Structure 1
Amino acid sequence: MNILDKIIVRKKEEIAFSKSKISVEKMKNSEYFGRKTFSLKESVKARNGIIAEFKRQSPSKGIINDKVASLEIVTKYEEFGASGISILTDKDFFGGSFEDILSVRNSVNIPILRKDFMVDEYQFYEAKSIGADVVLLIAACLSPTQVQEFTALAHELNLEVLLEIHTEEELEHFNSEIDLVGINNRNLKDFKVDLQHSVNLKNLLPKGTLSVAESGIYNVEDFKFLKEKGFDAFLMGEYFMKNENPGNKFKEFVDVIN
């Protein structure tokens, strides 16, 4: 099994355990379930287009930064112009937790993406209950039918959908209800990064699709290259998080690109 397969096997075990502990009805009574969500689509157009990520670790890089709290970082991301915030909630492989969203939800007024491996309807109620505004659907671990069904459920819950693709075959997962399409510069199966591959794939999307360049953006030159090629938004995490003060690193980056 490749790493993505291993993650999905573990994720299904996690979901089964969670279902035995917390019902959907209980989640519907949570503090955040009824809140009005923020739109990432609108925020991308209104702010600098960067979806800044809070991420402690990853399977490919190991520990990136486990010394900082999410609240300390994401408030700086918002202050310095981020369009949205991506927060990992996968524990075993990325060191994330629901608390990383819960602890910041009332302190920021921009959209939060729950970044996780969504393979079950139950997770969408989780996302809503912890205060997320957007969910990630990864084409590599879903069928086109699942993407369509999950998108409909997300919209019922007033959550936007970011569909992540990496191959031309995964374009089949796209449907007109998808809010944004992320193109992962990094292959999740072997972790190789290829920006030109992403540009080629972006050019195959239907005209008018909001596109997000994801992962592997390591410097200003990478950012400018992708922006010049027409990407609307940029999901960046490691570049900021590997610094001991990710908020300051984000500000430095924004100062250079503006």
Structure 2
Amino acid sequence: MNILDKIIERKKQEIKDSKSKVSVAQLKDSKFFGRKTFSLKETLESKSGIIAEFKRQSPSKGIINNQISTLEVASAYEKFGASGISILTDKDFFGGSFDDILSVRNHINIPILRKDFMVDEYQFYEAKSIGADVILLIAACLSPTQVQEFTELSHQLGLEVLLEIHTEKELQHINKSIDFVGINNRNLKDFKVDLQHSVNLKNQLPENILSIAESGIYNEDDFKYLKEKGFNGFLMGEYFMKNENPGNKFSEFVSNVKI
């Protein structure tokens, strides 16, 4: 069993536990459920194009940075031009929680991506209830039919959809309703990074679909290379989070790549 399989197995149990404690009706009563969401499509064009991530840890890297508050980091990301904020809500493998989104929702005015492993309709109501604007669908753990159904549900809830792929086979998960296709430079099964593989996949995407380069962007040259290849956005976390002050690192990066 690879790490993705382990995460999904644990996620299904987590969802079962959550459903027994909080109903969908209760989620719909939350203070954020009725709010008008921010559009990442709009901010990708008007700001830096970077979806800056808050991530404490990962299965491949262990602890990255667990000494700084979500609000401090997210506020700095917004201040220095992030198009959106990606926040991990998986607890067991990434050290995240719903509180990480709840603690910043009223303090920033750019889209928040709930980054998690979405495998059940219930999670989309959760995402809406905590103030997310965008959700992530990972093709590696979903069927094309599930992607279609989850995309439709997300749009009904006012959420935009980022579909993440890594292989040519996963191109079949793309449907006309998807808002963005993210190409993960890091293989989720063995964690190897290959930027050229991502560019090859990018060249096979349907025309006019917004593309996001995800993960494994370790320096300014990586960023410039992917930008030159036509990616519309960039999801970056570890590069900033491994610094003592992620916000300052983000500011320095944006200045150096002259966005």
Could you give the per-residue CA deviations for residues 145-180 of structure 1, whole angstroms, max 9, x where no partner exists?
000000000000000000000000000000000000
Structure 1 Cα separation of the partners of residues 121 and 20 of structure 2: 15
SS of residue matched to 1:78: helix
Could you give the per-residue CA deviations for residues 14-41 of structure 1, whole angstroms, max 9, x where no partner exists?
0000000000000000010000000011
The one-letter code of the counterpart of 2:244 is: E
1:174 aligned onto 2:174:
yes
1:188 equivalent in structure 2? 188
The one-letter code of the counterpart of 1:175 is: N
Structure 2 Cα separation of the partners of residues 120 and 41 of structure 1: 25
SS of residue matched to 1:218: coil
Structure 2 Cα separation of the partners of residues 176 and 257 of structure 1: 32
SS of residue matched to 1:234: strand
The one-letter code of the counterpart of 2:199 is: V
Q: TM-score, normalised by structure 1?
A: 1.00
SS of residue matched to 2:45: helix
The 4+ residue runs of structure 1 with deviation greater than 4 A are none
Could you give the per-residue CA deviations for residues 85-137 of structure 1, whole angstroms, max 9, x where no partner exists?
00000000000000000000000000000000000000000000000000000
Gaps of 5+ in 2: none
2:251 equivalent in structure 1? 251
Structure 1 Cα separation of the partners of residues 16 and 219 of structure 2: 40
1:208 Cα shift? 0.8
2:35 equivalent in structure 1? 35
Alignment of 1:38-53 (within 5 A): 38-53=38-53
Structure 2 Cα separation of the partners of residues 130 and 205 of structure 1: 32
SS of residue matched to 1:136: strand
| Alignment coverage as a number of residue pairs | 258
RMSD: 0.3
Structure 2 Cα separation of the partners of residues 83 and 134 of structure 1: 12
Gaps of 5+ in 1: none
Could you give the per-residue CA deviations for residues 208-253 of structure 1, whole angstroms, max 9, x where no partner exists?
1100000000000000000000000000000000001000000000
Alignment of 1:108-119 (within 5 A): 108-119=108-119
What is the aligned-residue identity percentage?
78
1:57 equivalent in structure 2? 57
The one-letter code of the counterpart of 1:34 is: G
1:218 equivalent in structure 2? 218
Alignment of 1:1-258 (within 5 A): 1-258=1-258
Could you give the per-residue CA deviations for residues 29-62 of structure 1, whole angstroms, max 9, x where no partner exists?
0010000000011110111100000000000000
1:192 Cα shift? 0.2
Structure 2 Cα separation of the partners of residues 188 and 95 of structure 1: 18
Structure 1 Cα separation of the partners of residues 48 and 205 of structure 2: 22
Structure 2 Cα separation of the partners of residues 43 and 177 of structure 1: 19
1:140 Cα shift? 0.0
Structure 1 Cα separation of the partners of residues 208 and 44 of structure 2: 14
